[in-house]
């Protein structure tokens, strides 16, 4: 998050790298959140 906020950034390329990393991370978290209901369904079926 520091590069996104401009902390410890030496130039615009560092800031863009920080932005890209944050976007990629939030997309991964969103994908994981979408996967949780499927995991719960699998577990429920295993317990039956």
Q: What is the pLDDT of residue 9?
A: 64
Cα 13 to its chain centre, rounded Å, is 21
Residue pair 18/33 in contact by the 8 Å Cβ criterion? no
What the block records as the tokens of 26 is: 């939030």
Q: What is the pLDDT of residue 7?
A: 63
What the block records as the tokens of 23 is: 């976007």
pLDDT digits (tens, 9 = 90+) for 12-48: 887 788 889 999 999 999 999 999 999 999 999 998 8
Q: How many domains does the chain have?
A: 1
| Residue 36 lies in domain | 2-47
Task: Give the C-alpha distances (Å, rounded to integers) separating 2 from 11, 12, 30, 31.
Answer: 13, 13, 21, 23
Q: For residues 10 and 36, give the distance between their C-alpha atoms in angstroms, rounded to a whole number.
A: 38
Q: What is the pLDDT of residue 37?
A: 96
């Amino acid at each position: 998050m520091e590069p996104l906020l401009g902390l410890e950034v030496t130039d615009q390329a560092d800031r863009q790298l920080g932005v890209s990393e944050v976007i990629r991370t939030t997309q991964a978290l969103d994908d994981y959140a979408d996967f949780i209901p499927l995991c719960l369904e699998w577990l429920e079926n295993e317990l039956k």
